[in-house]
Amino acid sequence: MKQIIALGGGGFSMEPENPLLDEYILRQSAARVPKICFIGTASGDAEGYIERFYQFFNQYDCEPAHLSLFKPPSRDLESFVLAQDIIYVGGGSTKNLMALWKEWGLIDILKKAYEQGVLLCGISAGAICWYEMGVTDSYGGELEPVKGTGILQGSHSPHYDEEKKRRPAYQRMIKEGVLKGGMAASDGTALHYVNGELKHIVSSRPEARAYEVTTEGEREIKPYYLGLDYIRTGERLTLKPFKEDAFPLLMKWIESEEQVTLWSGSTFTFPLTEKQLIAYQADKSQIAFSAFSNETGECIGHIAIGRINNRHQSARIGKVLIGDPAMRGKGFGEEMVREAVRFAFQHLRVHKITLGVYEQNARAIACYERIGFKKEGLLKDHARVGDGYWNMWEMGLLEV
């Protein structure tokens, strides 16, 4: 199988605290302990860049190495490259990269590696290089077209949403016929090609996007957010993505109108139905988890992170429930919230997390305060339940 993964931005060099894209790359190798080689030609083999590569990948079950054309590891570059499982090309100047690769015969070597099943990947210039052509700032000043290796058909533009000049320049060049149509990607997006065909588009950020750009304009594509596959394992429980097989348990756990309000506010009505849960699960503006006991493997609870606001770097925790009565009052709820908080800070990269808790729920308030949430205001008569009204505490937690 022949594979190329092109990153519009992100990875260890741009977001070392968010390993989702690089972990995805490692998982695509068939090798149990993949040999991954960094090529930093585009940055002039910057020592700091190479050091960051080793610092990151030394944490994983792989064998990192690097290939410098300024200090080659061997006269036999072909044997060195073909011995790798993954080639990871860093960002920098695409023009300089292509010139040096041509001089050293590395383009033909990489094409041979690709044909033999070595996974090729890279970020920015290290993504452009795999295509026939792309748009680059290598020349200084304005963006200009640049030729790549041509392993992939069409053209590419990285940093499409982040650098203001990218979008208009890329679209103009395609309309004028200077560039072929192709794929653009924002930071945090990876384009995964298998046997020359685009098979998967994944991201390390919920807001990241990909774009198919032709002479007719652009088509936005929402990638699969890899954070949804994230499994957060705590001391006694594990958070996994909320799926259909958890529907019956939630419907069983929610036994009254009062309980559905206590759990979800106004999101659901009683009785809870499969139709409501299907709509809830389909809402991509939030990330919902089921909680499983590490001891028994059984589902014991539910929690969600919603109102994810990338501009203000905020999110809201809600739908907190330890549904199994036998598990309540034993600290599982606190551990579940702590794991959700870690996920929000580490992978959603938020600055603030909020939640709402009804005034009479003293046990939950104490739990949230132990985690670090602070009361920010009391909302009077926030919800009507039966013939009365409930007040709700608004609570917040800032990134430390």
Query: Residue 382 class from Cβ within 10 Å (0-12 exposed, 13-18 middle, 19+ buried)?
Result: middle
Look at residue 180 and give its three-state secondary structure.
coil
- Helices 106-115 and 94-104, axial angle in degrees (round to 10): 90
Residue 244 is given by DSSP the state G
Q: Is 353 exposed, middle or buried (0-12, 13-18, 19+ CB in 10 A)?
A: buried
247: which residues sit within 8 A by CB, 6+ positions away? 274, 277
H helix or E strand, kind and range, residue 48: helix 47-57
> What positions carry a catalytic annotation?
124, 159
CA distances, 305 to each of 88, 189, 223 (Å): 33, 22, 19
Distance in angstroms (rounded) separating the CA atoms of residues 136 and 375? 49
